[in-house]
Amino acid sequence: MTGIWGIVNVTPDSFSDGGRYLDVDRAVAHGLRLRAEGATVLDIGGESTRPGAERVGPDVEQERVLPVIEQLVAAGAPVSIDTFNAATATAAVRAGARIVNDVSGGLADPDMLAAVAETGADYAIGHWRGFSSDMYAQAEYRRVAREVAGELKERMGDAAAAGIAPSRLIVDPGIGFAKAGAQNWELLRGLDEIVALGPRVLIGTSRKRFLAETLRHAAPEEEASEPRRDLATAVTSALAARAGVWAVRVHDVAATRDALAIAHAWEG
């Protein structure tokens, strides 16, 4: 069964739910609710990666996420830390996180790969071509799936050189990161090239701009509301599961859980 990562944004400015769970108690309650709905991992982030987001320092990031991680781990939840920063990754693993989810694949912080190697945690390598403030300037591809696979393979090599065993790696093709609308669809259609790399594959389409754009084309008179984007996320997650991905990262766990259950029943 495909795993479901439930997103817990402990930020004031994430693109979808920024500020909703900035309070520690509310973030913990939200994480526990996602866990009860079927999340296999809770992905905790303290810095927004939305387009145009401003960076925050590791001290602020850790102040936001560490209390949440500690309480969720104490409640028995498997936790991932969503961070660019080596210092935050190390502190989060000490607090109980099992996975470091780095959307930059080690490119944002030169100390990240060595830090993760030392922690023993699993490491999710995202495909990345620059920080959110100007990432779309890098959205130039001839064959997006092949190029993304090639760049991820380079990051896998660097992770191995730093001492991270292949069995600890997860790869994420970075849907929405330095990729314009149609490029995301092309990348999803080419997921076999990402799966062929060998490590577990994580996909995150949840509520992203390219889904909203597609929904607006389908029904121009309707707003691409959060429920509609969650339905679109569930569909893309089910299709990604059929393509062989290991896990999907979503805001609405219940909708994706149901979509995956139906897809798996279809396959028999």
The residues assigned a catalytic role are 208, 249
Tokens of 204: 């995150």
Tokens of 140: 């130039």
Decide: 44 and 70 in contact? Cβ < 8 Å. no
Contacts of 101 (CB under 8 A, 6+ apart): 43, 80, 81, 82, 83, 124, 126, 170, 172, 202
User: How far lies 234's CA from each of 26, 82, 161, in Å?
Assistant: 24, 21, 36
Q: Determine whether 225 is exposed, middle or buried from the number of CB atoms within 10 Å of its CB (0-12, 13-18, 19+).
A: exposed
Alpha-carbon span 245 to 158, nearest angstrom: 23
**What type of residue sits at position 196?**
A
Tokens of 202: 């994580």
Helix, strand or coil, per DSSP, at residue 102: strand
Decide: 15 and 257 in contact? Cβ < 8 Å. no
CA 79 to chain centroid = 13
Alpha-carbon span 101 to 200, nearest angstrom: 13
